Amino acid sequence: MTCDAHIHLLPGLDDGAADVDESILMLRKLVSLGMRAAVLTPHLRMGTNTIETFLVHRKAAYQRLRKTELIQKKQFKCFLSVEMEACEGFSRLPGLDRLLSPELPYLPLALPLGGMKGWLMEELSYLLHKRKICPLFLHTERYLIFYPEKDKQKLLSFPHAAYQFTLASFRYLSIAKTALQLYRNDKLVLLGSNGHNIGTRLPEIDLDKLYITESLAKIAAENIMRSNDEYFNRFLES
Ligand SMILES: [Fe+2]
């Protein structure tokens, strides 16, 4: 796979890489697996942070990271983005569009695990129709596990949404099947590791070591990996 679509690689920003040294170890891990890019998705939680402050900190963290050899020599490309907590009022915040990477003009969202409540549907609808921003649902597998059936259907049929799955979750056939269905329905489906560090939450993206045993789950992983790479490869230098 070429690009990890969800990783907490920026140093010192959230519960991801603690410092630049750990960021570099994570980068090397990705490169050792053949990766050439990543979408960097530091957490943004309203109430503890503002968009303005987040942008300042994200930029400063990237300035530290971009001095590393892999990025200097253009062997690895970073797309700066966000993992935004979908809370009440988020869709009205000014400056949402400034959070998005130009290469991936979707808003990556972490949804509450309690289901697609009325307020959440209103927020998503406002985001799409008034702000003209499409949501990218992060770690979709979590909602497939925790949501009641009717809420899963709302999630999976939300107009113009994109879906990111943690590749390791394809160990579970039902999750892999859902991802494959979205892909076959021409939804944008991306894969990421949701890696946080080099110890307990490594970027796990190596298909050979993920114990994905069911043949249909392997088919899902291979197809969606290819699609993920087709999406991002056009932004990478040959
Ligand atoms: Fe995350």
**Mean predicted confidence (pLDDT) in 151-176:** 96
- Give domain limits for the chain: 3-233
What is the whole-number distance in angstroms between the Cα of residue 6 and the centre of ligand 1? 6
What is the whole-number distance in angstroms between the Cα of residue 194 and the centre of ligand 1? 5
Tell me: the pLDDT tens digits for 48-81?
899 999 999 999 999 999 999 889 888 899 999 9
What is the whole-number distance in angstroms between the Cα of residue 111 and the centre of ligand 1? 11
Q: What is the pLDDT of residue 238?
A: 61
Q: Which has more confidence, 46 or 182?
A: 182
What is the whole-number distance in angstroms between the Cα of residue 2 and the centre of ligand 1? 19
What is the whole-number distance in angstroms between the Cα of residue 98 and the centre of ligand 1? 19
Q: What is the pLDDT of residue 66?
A: 92
What is the whole-number distance in angstroms between the Cα of residue 122 and the centre of ligand 1? 23
Mean pLDDT rounded to a whole number for the chain: 94
What is the whole-number distance in angstroms between the Cα of residue 61 and the centre of ligand 1? 17
Q: Which residue has the tokens 């140093």?
A: 11
Largest distance between two CA atoms of the chain: 49
Which residues does residue 40 pair with via DSSP β-bridges, in sequence order? 7, 80
**Mean predicted confidence (pLDDT) in 107-133:** 97
pTM for this structure?
0.95
What is the whole-number distance in angstroms between the Cα of residue 41 and the centre of ligand 1? 7
Task: State percent of the chain over pLDDT 70.
Answer: 100
What is the whole-number distance in angstroms between the Cα of residue 70 and the centre of ligand 1? 23
What is the whole-number distance in angstroms between the Cα of residue 95 and the centre of ligand 1? 21
Token pair recorded at residue 115:
């289901």
Reduce the secondary structure of the chain to three states and give it as a string.
CCEEEEECCCCCCCCCCCCHHHHHHHHHHHHHCCCCEEEECCEECECCECHHHHHHHHHHHHHHHCCCHHHHCCCCEEEECCEEECCCCHHHCCCHHHHCECCECEEEEECCCCCCCHHHHHHHHHHHHCCCCEEEECCHHHHHHHCCHHHHHHHHCCCCCEEEEEHHHHHCHHHHHHHHHHHHCCCCEEEECCECCCCCCCCCCCHHHCCCCCHHHHHHHHHHHHHHHHHHHCCCCC
What is the whole-number distance in angstroms between the Cα of residue 75 and the centre of ligand 1? 24
Residue 26 CB coordination number (10 Å): 26
Question: Does residue 221 surpass a pLDDT of 90?
Answer: yes
What is the whole-number distance in angstroms between the Cα of residue 168 and the centre of ligand 1? 14
What is the whole-number distance in angstroms between the Cα of residue 12 and the centre of ligand 1? 15
Task: State percent of the chain over pLDDT 90.
Answer: 84
Tell me: the pLDDT tens digits for 131-144?
999 999 999 999 99
Q: What is the pLDDT of residue 73?
A: 87
Question: Does residue 93 surpass a pLDDT of 90?
Answer: yes
CB 39 within 8 A of CB 83: no
Please count the CA atoms within 13 angstroms of the CA of 232 that sit on its side-chain side.
25
| CATH level 3 topology of 3-233 | TIM Barrel (3.20.20)
What is the whole-number distance in angstroms between the Cα of residue 191 and the centre of ligand 1? 12
What is the whole-number distance in angstroms between the Cα of residue 108 and the centre of ligand 1? 10
What is the whole-number distance in angstroms between the Cα of residue 165 and the centre of ligand 1? 11
What is the whole-number distance in angstroms between the Cα of residue 131 and the centre of ligand 1? 24
CB 7 within 8 A of CB 39: yes
**Mean predicted confidence (pLDDT) in 99-114:** 96
**Mean predicted confidence (pLDDT) in 191-197:** 92
